[in-house]
Amino acid sequence: MLITAPRVVPGTGELAILEPGYVLVTAGPVARVGRGAPPRRPDLALGSGYLVPGLIDLQVNGYFGVNLADVEPAGWALVARRLPETGTTGFLPTFVTAPVAEMSHALRCASVLVADPPAGARVLGVHMEGPFLAPTKAGAHRRKWMVTPTQATVANLLTAGVGALRVVTLATEAEGGLAAVAALASAGVVVSVGHSDATAQQVAAADAGARMVTHLFNAQRPLHHREPGVVGQALTDPRLTSGLIADLTHVAAAACAIAFAAAPGRICLVTDASAAAGMAPGRYRLGGKLVEVRPGDGQAPRLADGTLAGSVLRMDRAVANAVAAGVGLAEAVAAAARIPADLLGRPHLGRLNPGAAADLVWLDDDLRAQATWVAGERVYPAGAVSA
């Protein structure tokens, strides 16, 4: 399959845009990416927009009315099948804070589904956001279910999540927090600092193996000129990559621009989507709490007290919002594809170069997904592509 496009964004470290460009796929992986005239007549000639690598979302609580923490095979299949509509070709189902026994059960069920994943967007593992969080930075999580990370609890969750657990968000300042970071990291889990009131010095959990910060600016100690907090450490520590909810509600456009400028190559776009995403305004559930999306406020599911509770953001819209905030297109695409793939240790994803998986997205001139391929097979739209 040979596809040409007015602009191809490979998403690699060079951050180049090929105008025009082409991508050749042979027997699954990408065989060749080039600028200018293609080597033969294309199978598909896109007349507008951009051809980019498949987008990877590290934080998806739910979508299309489904709470992924319920770990229902039909629900996971629906989300995996429909996420390519948003340009997403890989994602981490995310489990928010619940009683430890429930989280262990959910991880065991998830291990089965990750081993035999549904068709559509790739299920890259599970992101466990909690229960080791700071009650003072609970956000939409239930404080009564938060616990300190004992050695036994961490071991229990690691055992339950064998083959599935990929990211754990925790507050490093909690008693036993640094020991938990070390134990999780040594087991191959990406540890992310989040829902944390840690000082900058306490966030130096990167010394113990932390590599990420969850939804930068949200539910964490903010930047202060005498105490940089979680935000300051995230933006200055080269070992930390930060997730960013670029719906322009959780984080203002100017703050998005600051993050990209302060930490180039260390920002990954996430949605933090809830079951309300892709649905009509109304009431939904997240972590056992009722959330509401009101008409005209489609980017901000909230609890009754106004607390933000996940989002209804699409990954293609996250890229567009970052660009509107002043981030270069190539940088925004890398933040939504290559950078999260690298964080998960999946260097064959999130980029268009020879040998990479043929996960592709055609974005129109407004950066909205028009067609999506996973492993060289078109998974969206169902009908013919009108180029």
| Predicted local distance difference test score (pLDDT) of residue 27 | 80
10 in the same domain as 95 = no
Q: Give the max Cα distance, the chain.
A: 63
* CATH number of the CATH domain containing 107: 3.20.20.140
Catalytic site includes residue 247: no
Angle at 117 between CA 114 and CA 121, to 5 degrees: 110
Q: What's the pLDDT score for residue 297?
A: 57
pLDDT at residue 299, as a whole number? 67
Task: Give domain status of residue 385, yes or no.
Answer: no
Residue 133 within a domain? yes
- Is residue 376 located within the same domain as residue 287? no
Residue 245 within a domain? yes
Helix spans in 237-337 (H): 253-262, 315-324, 329-336
Same domain, 83 and 143: yes
CA distance 353 to 11: 9
pLDDT at 65: 95
- pLDDT for res 216: 98
φ and ψ at residue 57, rounded to 5 degrees: -110, 115
| Encoded tokens for 183 | 């134990």
Residues 367, 305 within the same domain: no
201: helix, coil or strand? coil
- Tokens 């339950």, located at residue: 160
Does one domain contain both 241 and 266? yes
What confidence score (pLDDT) does residue 201 get? 87
CATH number at residue 41: 2.30.40.10
What pLDDT does 298 receive?
59
User: Is 145 found in the same domain as 26?
Assistant: no
Measuring CA to CA, which residue among 143, 246, 127 is closest to residue 192? 127
Q: Do 171 and 309 belong to one domain?
A: yes
* Residues 45, 132 within the same domain: no
Q: Is the same domain home to 122 and 40?
A: no
How many domains are contained in the chain? 2
**Out of 57, 197, 237, 272, which one is annotated catalytic?**
272
pLDDT in the model for residue 151: 97
Inter-CA distances, 179 with 152, 205, 240, Å = 12, 10, 18
The sign of the CA dihedral 368, 343, 103, 129 is: negative
Inter-residue contact 319 to 367 (CB < 8 Å): yes
pLDDT value at residue 287? 82
**45, 62: one domain:** no
Which pLDDT belongs to residue 107?
A: 98
**The pLDDT of residue 13:** 78
Q: Which domain holds residue 330?
A: 55-343
**Do residue 154 and residue 24 come from a single domain?**
no
Mean pLDDT by 10 residues, the chain (387 residues): 97 88 93 95 97 98 97 98 98 97 98 96 98 96 96 98 98 93 97 96 84 97 95 96 96 98 98 95 88 77 91 97 97 98 98 97 98 97 75
Kindly state whether residues 198 and 104 are assigned to the same domain.
yes
